[in-house]
Structure 1
Amino acid sequence: MIKTIYLAGGCFWGVQHYFDQFDGIVKTTVGYANGNTENPVYKDVKKGLTGHAETLEIQYDDTVISLPKILDLYFDIIDPVSINQQGEDIGISYRTGIYYVDNEDLDTIQTKYIEIQNEYDSNLAVELKPLRNFFNAEEYHQKYLDKNPGAYCHIPASKFKKGL
């Protein structure tokens, strides 16, 4: 069955490039989630004017890749205790978050969240909330690192099988 989860992990370029390499990921779209305005644009999101987080919409085939596996992959590329920052990217739009659309996924997400929390002395900074809204980012952001090899990415190159 095709399911959907939304993950905010700092700059969405690298998060998309990372998840696109795994079997079972059917489609990814970068966009802006859980903010306070309709139809935000990048320059306003980046300045922190909209309250949105740069987020990746992931559509996946749960018969090929499980939600717990996706969450393991996600936690492998973020600093889960960093508040409003991943790598060199700083600001509310770069916060981390898991935004779900299927209430049946909440138990799975909470179980993984608690497992990860137990690895840290500090509280996790990863938001765990239902998705309130999601707006696709401008076309030039979609598959950005495929179109612009060598562009900045906060995720270490070693995490990519396909390279940057």
Structure 2
Amino acid sequence: MYIDGAFMKELYLAGGPYYGLQEVFSRIRGVARVRAGFANCSSAHPSKEDIYSGKAEGRECIQVIYNPKKIDIVSLLSLFFTIINPYTDGIQGKAVGPQFRSGVYYTSHEDTMQISYYLIFLQNRGQTRRMTDASIVFNEFEGEGGRRPKIRTEMKPLVNFYEAPEEEQYYLRKHPDTYTPINIPLLEELGTIGKAPETLQE
């Protein structure tokens, strides 16, 4: 797709409440647009109530539109797997439920090799350092023999994506006290993400 004359790619990322993910990825250089919504839903245009009640299946997710000349998919994945817990089924901090399962959903088969290679790399990094309160990653895990447990993050083609209502977009900027398991102030302090703009992104 083209935005303002520039070629853009898209990637869909799920991992806990979409509020935090949208806020983080919207502050990354090279990312042109981020929309919150629901991916791979079992029915068309589900409401948030449908997803949470189990009436419709789906994952809370963000659509990331990015300029591949400014940032590559590996950099996006590296950030994503730093701020979410890929070792659980539907648990991200205090957010628990099937709608919070982590996933990487793609629309282009040319991305599948890079995504699968990254997941293999992530799984086989071997010994892990112990998590601390200062870590960006918020979930501490215990693996047998000090090794990483099996990654539970889904890697699937995108079947559908339905945007959340406009009042749900950039929700943390409107309601900064809303819970998110991602330590956004720490990411700001480390320079991983930029400061939040003073006005809401349209």
Q: TM-score, normalised by structure 1?
A: 0.95
Instruction: Map 1:1-164; keep pairs closer than 5 Å.
Output: 1-119=7-125, 121-157=148-184, 158-160=186-188, 161=193, 162=195
CA RMSD of aligned residues (A): 1.2
Classify the secondary structure of the residue corresponding to 1:13: helix
Counterpart secondary structure, 2:32: strand
**Aligned-partner Cα distance in 2 for 1:33–1:11:** 13
Q: Distance in 2 between matches of 1:43 and 1:49?
A: 8
Deviation at 1:155, TM superposition (A): 0.3
Deviates more, 1:27-36 or 1:147-156: 147-156
Q: Deviations over 1:130-162 (max 9, x none)?
A: 001110111111011111122211101312442
In structure 2, runs of 5+ residues without a counterpart are: 1-6, 126-146, 197-202
**Partner Cα separation in structure 2 for residue 95 and residue 48 of structure 1:** 14
1:39-75 CA-partner distances (Å, limit 9, x unpaired): 0001121223311000000000000010000000000
- Give me the whole-angstrom Cα distance separating, in 2, the residues matched to 1:6 and 1:149: 24
Which structure: greater strand fraction? 1
- Which runs of 4 or more aligned residues in structure 1 lie more than 6 Å from their structure 2 counterparts after TM superposition? none
- Contact 1:3–1:60 at 8 Å: present in 2 too? yes
Contact (CA 8 Å) 1:42, 1:138: kept in 2 or not? no
The letter of the residue matching 1:130 is P
Counterparts of 2:78 and 2:55, CA distance in 1? 31
Q: Distance in 1 between matches of 2:179 and 2:148?
A: 30
Which has the larger Rg?
Answer: 2
**Greater relative contact order (Cα 8 A, min sep 6): structure 1 or 2?**
1
Question: CA–CA distance in 1 between the matches of 2:176 and 2:43?
Answer: 32
In structure 2, how many angstroms separate the alpha carbons of the residues matched to 1:44 and 1:51? 8
What displacement does 1:7 show?
A: 0.3
Supply the AA of the counterpart residue of 1:62: P
On the 8 A contact 1:6/1:100 being kept in 2, the answer is: yes
Give the Cα–Cα distance (whole angstroms) in 2 for the partners of residues 49 and 18 of structure 1: 29
CA distance in 2, matches of 1:112, 1:87: 23
